[in-house]
Structure 1
Amino acid sequence: MTDAAGQGAHRARYRRILGFAARQLTQLWWFELFLPRIGLSRIAERTRADRMRRLAQRFHILAVDLGGLMIKVGQFLSSRMDVLPPEITEELAGLQDEVPAVPFVEIRTLAEAELGVPLERAFAWVDEQPLAAASLGQVHRAHLSELDAADTGFQHVVVKVQRPGIEEIVATDLAALRRVAGWLRRIRLVSNRVDAPALVEEFAQTSLEEIDYLHEAANAERFAENFADDPRIDTPEIIWERVTRRVLTLSDVTAIKINDTAALRAAGIDPSEVASVFAEVMFDQVFTHSFVHADPHPGNIFVTPIPKRADAAGPTWRLTFIDFGMMAEVPDNLRDGLRTLLIAVAGRDSKGLVAAAQAIGVLLPSADTAELERALTALFARFGGMGFAELSKVDPREFRDFANEFGDMVRSLPVQLPENMLLLFRSVALTSGMCSGLDPAFNVWDAAEPYAARLLRDEAGNIVQEFARRALTTADVTWRLPQRIDNVITRIDDGTVTFDTSRLERRLDSLMRIGRRAVAAVLFAGLLVGGALLLAPLPALGTALMVVSAVPLLYAAFAGRR
């Protein structure tokens, strides 16, 4: 494709995205803003669920047709349950990388340009049939040369290559999304609930990191270092000599997919045990290492059997993680915020929970939190006294009823999860779903309980120190209070206490001047209207009144101005 043709294709793509957005926003304006203004809000409410579902279906078709970043947009939106109705998130939840594979000749051209050598020199063999084809990249199996295999200790690798032209497509899509976000910022119905430009920038940062394979390789090494001494975890080795921003070469660690329960049982591995270990590992990432795999779907996690020797003890399998393009950092301030949230939940403190949510940026400043506090109070009243084991025995229908009511209320608030927390929640949600698929009796509360207890123990020492500090401060103030009161009384007796009221007097003078000018303006209007009415029957009196009205007009316009 020539440069001119490529630019034309990108312009057409840009216009198509904007056209789709403009049509949907026009429909939003008609149903959600115009019809309620003319008393037809019932029509908007009655059709809202179907309209949202059709909107998501049309976007699904657009995303699959365009590919590129738009599929990632759909996957990203499907996780934004904090700002989007369930009809949209449920429809987009099944959006996958439904894209055709790139012809191998194009993959070869890009890989050779990146590596700087012919593919036959970089690898002993490359499978022309892709192992996986996604919207941003494509994966092929390959073999290292004998010399490279001797250096690395393995021969079988996988080569991940960016789709040709994907960087230009990403730039085009992000430009269109930023334009749409600017439109949304001007719609109060949307801007009161979500900061659309910030949402797009959050998505842009994640997407740009995901197409930088040097960044992914660094993430993989950091993850491997975190679990270097953990026999439960394995990660692929990075062949740095075959890594660039657009090509990533890893040791081939393909094994049993974590959700393939039949293959697990055939290998003598209990799926419920896999669920338990997987949950423990994910919580370790959150609370111990503060570096979390944010895309733990079945294609990114394998269960690798370990040959068992008769004289050796230890696990017979381990979890192998791949694809580290999307990782969630848990910085200290977010960790502290989560700790505060946990303590508020433990103390059934709805006000403290809301305050903690505001402190970490979950609630936008415009949020009216009174209804949220009432909902949390009701939630705590019903479930607050229960431990994790008791909660697991509650009728699921009761949880569902609370969730439906609570979800509607939350979606009415200007709630927006910060990026790190969004990725963290995505990771926890995928973990819970994966574990439930492996073990129908799995309860995420049981997996979280040890970490929740540890956080509370860690916080207990901090609470004691804070309480002691505040107690000393209060004691100091109390000790000095009688002397300070005595000093004030002595100054009053001596007549040396003074009050500066000059600003108050100036403000009162200003208000009096405004009042007098307002009265003069009303008097001017009365004289002018009266004179105009009397001008025909009593010309002399009417004219006199109109002339006299100039006096209060001049006073209202100029009197007291400084």
Structure 2
Amino acid sequence: MASPRPDEAHPEVRDRAGRARYRRILRFASRHLAVTWWFELVLPRFGLRWVAERTRARRMQRFARGFHGLALDLGGLMIKVGQYLSSRLDVLPPEITKELEGLQDEVTPVPFPEIRALAEAELGMSLDRVFASVSPEPIAAASLGQAHRAVLGPVDSADTGLRDVVLKVQRPGIDRIVDVDLAALRKVGGWLSHVRLVYDRVDAPALVEEFARTSLEEIDYLHEAAASARFAADFADDDRVGVPDVVWERSTRRVLVLEDVSAIKITDAEGLRAAGIDPAEVAPVFAAVMFDQLFGNGFFHADPHPGNIFVTPVEPGGSAGSADGVEPQRPWRLTFIDFGMMGEVPAGTRNGLRQLLIAAASRDGSGMVNAMRDLGVLLPTADTVGLERAVTATFARFGGMGFAELREVDPREYREFAGQFGDLIRSLPFQLPEDFLLVLRAVTLTSGVASALDPVFNLWDSVEPYAARLVRDERGNAVQDVARRAADAVGVAARLPGRLDHLVGRLEDGTLEVGSPRIERQLGRIERTARRVLAAVLFGGLLIAGAVLRADGDVLGTVLMVASAVPLLYALLAGRLPG
């Protein structure tokens, strides 16, 4: 396959440096596409499918290592691409995601004179007029920007009531680099949209546009500032949570000035104890705050890793418990920073989760598939018959087990389970929508941070009150759903005589054909373990259903808690269990 030439119609690739970067990305992509085409399409035509299967894992690892090196060398958006790909467990094999999950968003810092020049151009004045001092040493250097500690000048300090701040500045020229990278990615996405091996399983152009949207938001610091303000408003009356103030008068799309809220890193157990704070007391509060965002406000911090959350000690008498004032006062609060990656649970997703809940409670495989379709998970080529069988098999395998029994399952079964699920989820034509991926990311990081604080932390106990609230809010809609399903059943019954007459007619004239879906070839290996097609998509719905029914003493509670535990265990353990 010849190396493609850049599209000269794109203004972002007209300069020499842009063309060189554009070509390098496309050369890398075309080379690996050619290798994949040869092994996965050509060799099987000559009866050499075994060669492709035998070398597949090694080829995937070689691609991931090559992209890892390319990303570190080019920087810019390519590092973000690697981090994004590492999260796409729904469409990429573990050989790729595991190699890229360690790709860190840290690069060589930009020399301070360049940062100063860009900041002064944006602000329209010398930094000396804005700040009493600016540290030339960055406290963080990333692929899109870097941050420096600073002290506001007397005038701004008096106006804002702030003194110590953080000056966040984009890397010079990053706008141009992002434009070139997105142009190259769109080109690659267009190629993939014509490859049946790909388009049967994933909408590549849609994935590129999804990534482009979040990337363009991340390099717009005014968007981050607005997200910070919205998050602060959501928790304005909640003394458990702190958010840095924004110095709006000194912030632009490329420069952001924030209150310096540095404190004890949330996973710094020694630092917490030295401040008289028990880490085990922090865990449930952190989980409660995160679930308030997910199940209450619907607007949530999608990147709550330890570096983005501080535990801030407060003066006696200046702290409180939860917003309702029921809990006792505590001498600390959780302070969130970096609002560049935020998520929102839209009404459509909430409705889809509710349908999942109802279908799970009734063990309705067809209802599960319909809910997935409403969530935007299924692609047009999805084999819904196979999916319904997989969902039904999940209930059949785990329906009689309690959560305590799950914890006693041999870890080897989980390893095999994870492998089977990975094969299935990548072989069927569906993908997780961006908002649900962010929910999964937030829940996974929440569980990891809370477990680091308290090894016996119980996620189920933390989510139960939110599950009960969601179900109370949605009970009226649930009744409407039951009525709708009853009406659908009546409609099917009314149409049945005509459909039977049509079927008999086709049998008589010999035109009836029976197709065998491709999923049949997969059932042999899937039947050895439960088919975890629900995974991250089903986690939210099943967890909510199980928690509520368990609290009410309903016998279905155990079944649903088990069904929620299985996809969560995959999400948490699959990448770390030894093969």
TM-score normalised by length of structure 2 = 0.78
**Bigger mean CA offset, 368-377 vs 295-304:** 368-377
Give the C-alpha shift of residue 21 in structure 1. Answer: 0.3
2:388 to 365, 373, 385: 373
2:341 to 306, 314, 326: 326
- 1:404 maps to 2:419: yes
Aligned residue for 1:366, secondary structure, equals: coil
Residue correspondence of structure 1 range 456-471 to structure 2 within 5 A: 456-467=471-482
Give the C-alpha shift of residue 347 in structure 1. Answer: 3.0
Give the corresponding residue for 2:199. 191
**Do 1:343 and 1:456's aligned partners in 2 also have CA atoms closer than 8 Å?**
no
**Cα distance, 1:373–1:445 mapped onto 2, change above 3 Å:** farther
Give the corresponding residue for 1:284. 292
Which AA in structure 2 matches 1:276?
A: P
2:447 to 419, 427, 432: 432
2:362 to 344, 347, 360: 347
1:382 to 388, 397, 400: 397
**Do 1:213 and 1:248's aligned partners in 2 also have CA atoms closer than 8 Å?**
yes
Which AA in structure 2 matches 1:165?
A: G
**Cα distance, 1:261–1:54 mapped onto 2, change above 3 Å:** farther
**Cα distance, 1:236–1:393 mapped onto 2, change above 3 Å:** farther
- 1:167 maps to 2:151: no
2:97 to 89, 100, 106: 89
Give the corresponding residue for 2:375. 360
Partners of 1:471 and 1:354 in 2: how far apart?
A: 18
1:315 to 330, 336, 353: 330
Residue correspondence of structure 1 range 169-318 to structure 2 within 5 A: 169-309=177-317, 314-318=329-333
Give the corresponding residue for 1:47. 55
Aligned residue for 1:124, secondary structure, equals: strand
- 1:415 maps to 2:430: yes
Give the C-alpha shift of residue 456 in structure 1. Answer: 2.5
**For each residue in 1:410-438, what CA deviation from the matched residue of structure 2 results, as whole angstroms up to 9, or x when unmatched?**
11111211122222222222222222333
**Do 1:342 and 1:452's aligned partners in 2 also have CA atoms closer than 8 Å?**
no
Partners of 1:335 and 1:210 in 2: how far apart?
A: 25
Count matched residues: 480
**Cα distance, 1:355–1:310 mapped onto 2, change above 3 Å:** closer
Give the C-alpha shift of residue 69 in structure 1. Answer: 0.3
> Highest CA radius of gyration, 1 or 2?
1
- 1:12 maps to 2:20: yes
**Cα distance, 1:307–1:396 mapped onto 2, change above 3 Å:** farther
- 1:66 maps to 2:66: no
**Bigger mean CA offset, 250-259 vs 135-144:** 250-259
Which AA in structure 2 matches 1:19?
A: R
Give the C-alpha shift of residue 228 in structure 1. Answer: 0.8
Partners of 2:42 and 2:243 in 1: how far apart?
A: 55
Partners of 2:51 and 2:287 in 1: how far apart?
A: 45
Give the corresponding residue for 1:132. 140
Give the corresponding residue for 2:537. none
Partners of 2:319 and 2:44 in 1: how far apart?
A: 76
Unaligned residue ranges in structure 1 (runs of 5+) = 482-507, 509-562
**Cα distance, 1:180–1:311 mapped onto 2, change above 3 Å:** closer
Which AA in structure 1 matches 2:271?
A: A
Aligned residue for 1:228, secondary structure, equals: coil
Q: Using CA pairs under 8 Å that are at least 6 residues apart, name the structure with larger relative contact order, 1 or 2.
A: 2
Partners of 1:472 and 1:401 in 2: how far apart?
A: 42
**For each residue in 1:375-403, what CA deviation from the matched residue of structure 2 results, as whole angstroms up to 9, or x when unmatched?**
32222223335566665665555444333
Which AA in structure 2 matches 1:243?
A: S
Give the corresponding residue for 1:553. none
Aligned residue for 2:292, secondary structure, equals: helix
Aligned residue for 2:213, secondary structure, equals: helix
**Do 1:236 and 1:253's aligned partners in 2 also have CA atoms closer than 8 Å?**
yes
**For each residue in 1:439-480, what CA deviation from the matched residue of structure 2 results, as whole angstroms up to 9, or x when unmatched?**
3333433333332233233332323355568879999xx9xx
**Cα distance, 1:373–1:5 mapped onto 2, change above 3 Å:** closer
**Do 2:133 and 2:152's aligned partners in 1 also have CA atoms closer than 8 Å?**
yes
Give the corresponding residue for 2:457. 442
**For each residue in 1:486-540, what CA deviation from the matched residue of structure 2 results, as whole angstroms up to 9, or x when unmatched?**
xxxxxxxxxxxxxxxxxxxxxx9xxxxxxxxxxxxxxxxxxxxxxxxxxxxxxxx
**Do 1:231 and 1:315's aligned partners in 2 also have CA atoms closer than 8 Å?**
no
Which AA in structure 2 matches 1:345?
A: A
**Bigger mean CA offset, 75-84 vs 395-404:** 395-404
Q: CA RMSD in A?
A: 2.9
Partners of 2:455 and 2:149 in 1: how far apart?
A: 35
Partners of 1:270 and 1:261 in 2: how far apart?
A: 8
Give the C-alpha shift of residue 112 in structure 1. Answer: 0.5
**Cα distance, 1:344–1:469 mapped onto 2, change above 3 Å:** closer
Partners of 1:316 and 1:241 in 2: how far apart?
A: 32
Give the C-alpha shift of residue 406 in structure 1. Answer: 2.2
**For each residue in 1:211-251, what CA deviation from the matched residue of structure 2 results, as whole angstroms up to 9, or x when unmatched?**
00111100000000001111111100011011100000000
Partners of 2:331 and 2:21 in 1: how far apart?
A: 51
Partners of 1:338 and 1:319 in 2: how far apart?
A: 29
Sequence identity (%): 67
**Cα distance, 1:124–1:406 mapped onto 2, change above 3 Å:** same
